[in-house]
Structure 1
Amino acid sequence: MAMASLTRAATSFLRTKQSGSTAATMSLEIYLVGNYSHDIGPLVRDAIDNGMVKELDLSISDDKIPKHCKDADMVQKARNVDGFLRAYPNMLPCITRLQLYNLRFAEGVYGMHHILFDCCKQLQHLSLENYDAGDCSLWQINVPDSSLRVLEIYSSCFKRIEVLCLPKLERLHWEVWMHTEARLRFGSVPSLKELFLVCDADLDVPEFSLCQLLNGATGIHTLTLNFQGEKLWIQQERKQLFRAAFNKLKKLCIYGVYVEFDGQ
């Protein structure tokens, strides 16, 4: 019903464009159900071609919460999203913000990586929920010419994410990693200022060095750690932490510390 209403509204708005008018930025949230994507896609494609839309804020939503999604459902959703984006390639250079939900790329993330970073040249804000390439998969991001400023990752099953090169990245939010030990590594992220990490680690999660985690991210001024009331997963550190990682730190927020933790 939502997609039927959206299709009617989009058709009315985009097909009644006055000569020389422009919407500049379009925010669009869609569900890939039925044949509605085949109606919406051409409308947006034509609006971009005729110059009405210059920038696109796109959310491809899902009505399932992550814990109710089976692997097969996520793989099929990934195929649908990949097919939709490839069917309308002129959308990709216009996307400035993209939100994706419940996707698993069974054959690796290269195909989607190509779309996100090679084709979406204006992409500045990327939000991924329940997105991975299979349990314990590795995602390496090495895009020197990327415009990405904000990366948000929720409930992924990546074994590790390596941000090797994202020169304009300013904010990273990861909530939560599903496996043991520190699963985030930085290479060249000279603009990274804000880091938000959430993990409800149990007793089997080994401790790790916060310096090791933040190695390569020396410009952070706002750090948020949320333990969600479970085990603290950071080793005690002293001078080396402040020299290497906290040199520019201005704001530190710590949440979810178990009430009986003695702080020693």
Structure 2
Amino acid sequence: MESTCNTIIRGEDSTSSASENEDRISALPDHLLLKILECLYTPTAVQTGVLSTRWRHLPHQLSNLQINAEYFPGTLVDQIMTDYTDVISRFLSPPPCGCHRIIRILQLCFYLADPYLSSIAHAVGDALKIGVPEYLEFAATGHVACPSEAELVLFRQRFMSFFHAWPGPFSLLTKLTLRSLSFEDSDIPNILNTCNKLKLLSLRSCQMGQDPVLKIDAPCSELIGLELIDFGCAQVELISAPKLLELVYDSWCGENPPVYFRYVPQLVNLYFASPALSWHTPFTLSECLSGNRNLSMLHLNFRTQMIWIEPEDSRQLTPIFSKLRDAHLYNIFAECDLNWTMFILEGAPSLENFYLSRRSCELSKTEDSAEKTNVLWEPSKDSRYLNLKLLVMNGFKEEDKVMNYVRLVMVRAVVLKRIELCDEDPCKCSANNHEPPRFLVDEASKQRIREQLTHGSSSSADIIIG
């Protein structure tokens, strides 16, 4: 659409006669032209205003603005940020006389470079004079690929100066993403107290500086989503986050458990993903989730390394997992036994969907990786999974331990409706990136597997193999 739109506009403006200079698109009413512009990348939409007098006023009426410094051409940060601040100043300035303009969504992604932060703040201030957006997002990042410790501190100083100098825009933020900062212990509490409308906070490749523990005590916060990606700290303590619905913690280097949940009564979705490191010891879910009663979706990604969850008795888990509906266990190393995963089935009486993923290749092994050991667990002899309806296994192999595992689930899950068994995804690691995809395509083999799984079983579950 973008190339067609620009071609038509350029062609009509340069070749049409005065009587024919209205092309079909330009003849459309404003509200339809705005729909077209909102499908374009924002700087491209800006350009349409200089291509035709018919379109000149339209960029100032866009209600959805997404402006990302990473997409601006150039290799020097000064060049990129000069162009970036020029664009947002023109976009966010008051519209020409007679134009009606409401910004519903405003997303700004920019580098933490001086002296451009004040220009961004002034432009956002101009936009706020017209009206408060329904959704306001800042994504601030350092402009160095692998920043040093000193650069992490510098980016933090720049951001916090920006933050303290312009509390007005921050008080209206919906989402804040920060990358490559080294925080002091009071920074996150100050951010949450000032950004009192903040619903989503994402901290990527950041770290705690002096105090290695991230403590979030925000009883009045509107925060519903917290994302920690490669976040460097010893531990996270969620003291009070009464409206938090989702936590994503991807890759930690501190001690286990990575998070302690104190008062997080509304948490429904938890995603833990990390390779185990040599100083990690397995932890129990009840140890860190104590007090939670509303969890409905659980994601655990082991990155083909040591299993960092310790199986535990259902009596400890059932109060926490009483509302759990979906459980996803990703990237279990292929040599590991699977019976230990049944402790989740035993401790989650409402579980309906269970997803397992096995991998035979190394996804993230380093010299600090923990030694992989088999996890042994004996499922209770009389347990029944009364609500389980779907079992999905990616990385299925016709091996005794895998076949026995599936048969055992079929026996225990009395209302199981469907089983999906998929061969392992093609390996994407450098050592095997020429390996062709492997699929169970032989229909006779599929039928043989089905017969082996159902032999002596009363289960009526459909078995899908592919």
TM-score (norm 2): 0.53
Q: Assess if the C-alpha contact under 8 Å between 1:103 and 1:131 holds in 2.
A: yes
Alpha-carbon RMSD across the aligned residues, in angstroms, is 1.9
Q: Assess if the C-alpha contact under 8 Å between 2:215 and 2:236 holds in 1.
A: yes
Q: What is the alpha-carbon distance in structure 1 between the residues aligned to residue 211 and residue 164 of structure 2?
A: 27
Q: Assess if the C-alpha contact under 8 Å between 1:144 and 1:165 holds in 2.
A: yes
Instruction: Provide the secondary structure at the position in 1 that maps to 2:206.
Output: strand
Does residue 14 of the first structure (1) align with residue 89 of the second (2)? no
Greater Cα offset, 54-63 or 184-193: 54-63
Q: Assess if the C-alpha contact under 8 Å between 1:203 and 1:231 holds in 2.
A: no
Higher RCO (Cα < 8 Å, 6 or more apart): 1
Instruction: Provide the secondary structure at the position in 1 that maps to 2:249.
Output: strand
Does residue 197 of the first structure (1) align with residue 272 of the second (2)? yes
- For each residue in 1:202-235, what CA deviation from the matched residue of structure 2 results, as whole angstroms up to 9, or x when unmatched? 3442122111121122211100001111111111
Q: What is the aligned partner in structure 2 of residue 69 from structure 1?
A: 147
**Structure 2 runs not aligned, ≥5 long:** 1-78, 339-375, 377-466
Q: 1:206 to 1:165 in 2, by over 3 A?
A: same
Does residue 84 of the first structure (1) align with residue 162 of the second (2)? yes
Offset of residue 56 of structure 1: 1.7
Q: What is the aligned partner in structure 1 of residue 396 from structure 2?
A: none
Offset of residue 151 of structure 1: 0.3
Q: What is the alpha-carbon distance in structure 1 between the residues aligned to residue 84 and residue 132 of structure 2?
A: 18
Does residue 42 of the first structure (1) align with residue 122 of the second (2)? yes
Please give the residue correspondences for 1:144-223 in structure 2 after superposition, counting only pairs within 5 Å: 144-223=219-298
Does residue 60 of the first structure (1) align with residue 135 of the second (2)? no
Q: What is the aligned partner in structure 1 of residue 189 from structure 2?
A: 113
- For each residue in 1:177-223, what CA deviation from the matched residue of structure 2 results, as whole angstroms up to 9, or x when unmatched? 10232120011111110000012113442122111121122211100
Offset of residue 54 of structure 1: 5.7
4+ aligned runs moved over 6 Å, structure 1: none
Match of residue 103, structure 2, among 12, 19, 23? 23
Q: Which amino acid aligns with 1:57?
A: E
Q: 1:46 to 1:152 in 2, by over 3 A?
A: same
Instruction: Provide the secondary structure at the position in 1 that maps to 2:234.
Output: strand
**Structure 1 runs not aligned, ≥5 long:** none
Instruction: Provide the secondary structure at the position in 2 that maps to 1:3.
Output: helix
Q: What is the aligned partner in structure 1 of residue 198 from structure 2?
A: 123
Q: What is the alpha-carbon distance in structure 1 between the residues aligned to residue 182 and residue 330 of structure 2?
A: 30
TM-score (norm 1): 0.91
Q: Percent identity over the alignment?
A: 25
Q: What is the aligned partner in structure 2 of residue 252 from structure 1?
A: 327
Q: What is the alpha-carbon distance in structure 1 between the residues aligned to residue 211 and residue 271 of structure 2?
A: 21
* Larger gyration radius, structure 1 or structure 2: 2
Q: Assess if the C-alpha contact under 8 Å between 1:136 and 1:160 holds in 2.
A: no
Q: Assess if the C-alpha contact under 8 Å between 2:294 and 2:323 holds in 1.
A: yes
Q: Assess if the C-alpha contact under 8 Å between 1:128 and 1:152 holds in 2.
A: yes
Q: What is the alpha-carbon distance in structure 2 between the residues aligned to residue 171 and residue 36 of structure 1?
A: 33
Question: Number of matched residues?
Answer: 259
